[in-house]
Structure 1
Amino acid sequence: MIKYICDCCGKEIKKEEIKQIKVHDNYTNRVEKEGIHWCKDCVSNNGKHGFYFPILDTSEIGFEIELEKLKEETEELLGAVIKYKTNEFELIDNVIEEGYDVIQVVVNIIDRLGLIDYMQEGLERHIEKLKGRGWKFKNE
């Protein structure tokens, strides 16, 4: 009898509940490790540790429309930033609002792709990639 064990918490999991993760090398983007098995609880918990953002129910909207929405919101953010930086009349609140509109659409797209549970792991890899490229962080 084959037993499936979660590589994160070590508990036994049913085959149909296994969530597989691939770990990519940050520099070459080659798969370093494949077939890492996590239970659904570990995937969910790791996705929620340090990452929370409301996810809208966009199931009634076509995926292509959501991608267009990302373009639209990005253009609105760029317009608000340019106006703010060139001292045209643009409120700080509008820049922040447009920034969050872009973030919201990105989070919704990631969720629709079924990847929201990997956000924390992705953030950790992203930070390591930036450090590897020599970036310094303001909060360190």
Structure 2
Amino acid sequence: MIKHYCDKCKKEIEEKDKYKITIKTYKGALIDDDIELCGDCANTIDKFTFPILDTRNYEFQEELDKLREETEELIEAANKYNQNEVICIDEVIEESYDVIQVVVNILYRLGLLEFMSEGLEKHIKKLKARGWNFKGE
């Protein structure tokens, strides 16, 4: 009998209880297609975890202003990249994460992070109702 172990926590898992996942880059290139996880570890995959910065010394309006600033920097970097100007892909990714970081901090300060999963479900329904198609469906 073949034994299976979770690739994350190393716990032994039965064939019927294992989850097999594939990991790809954001461009779709295959990284690994033979990862086996137990149910507990598989359930953590879809959870978005992001650091929350300690912004107690900043006024809420400062965070909103920071979101505007970071969004403008992302737009500028994305436009340069899209127009094939000399810009590193890392700059676009960095600016994207700056925007995400500020949004996460704002949601945290408002006490709304715990509602993100439910909010995503509603967001997807809204987009489908507006006629958007999703890649891979």
TM-score calculated relative to the size of structure 1:
0.63
Write out per-residue CA displacement over residues 44-77 of structure 1, whole angstroms, 9 at most, x where no aligned residue.
xxxxx63322211111111111111001000100
Amino acid in the other structure paired with 1:77: L
Measured in 2, the distance between the counterparts of 1:55 and 1:119 equals 15
Backbone CA RMSD of aligned residues: 1.5
Residue in 2 aligned with 1:79? 76
Residue in 1 aligned with 2:50? 53
Out of 110, 120, 133, the residue aligned to residue 107 of structure 2 is: 110
Q: Moved runs in structure 1, 4+ residues, more than 3 A? A: none
Instruction: Give how far 1:139 is off.
Output: 2.9
Residue in 2 aligned with 1:5? none
Residue in 1 aligned with 2:62? 65
Measured in 2, the distance between the counterparts of 1:52 and 1:125 equals 20
Residue in 1 aligned with 2:27? none
Measured in 2, the distance between the counterparts of 1:91 and 1:76 equals 14
Residue in 2 aligned with 1:97? 94
Write out per-residue CA displacement over residues 15-37 of structure 1, whole angstroms, 9 at most, x where no aligned residue.
xxxxxxxxxxxxxxxxxxxxxxx
Amino acid in the other structure paired with 1:78: I
Measured in 1, the distance between the counterparts of 2:104 and 2:136 equals 24
For the pair 1:127 / 2:112, whether they are aligned, the reply is no
Q: Which ranges in structure 1 are unaligned for 5 or more consecutive residues?
A: 1-48
Give the number of equivalent residue pairs.
93
Amino acid in the other structure paired with 1:52: T
Write out per-residue CA displacement over residues 80-103 of structure 1, whole angstroms, 9 at most, x where no aligned residue.
011111111111010011011001
Measured in 2, the distance between the counterparts of 1:120 and 1:133 equals 20
Amino acid in the other structure paired with 1:63: F
Q: % of aligned pairs identical?
A: 64
Moved more, 51-60 or 83-92: 51-60
Instruction: Give how far 1:131 is off.
Output: 0.9
Residue in 1 aligned with 2:28? none
TM-score calculated relative to the size of structure 2:
0.64
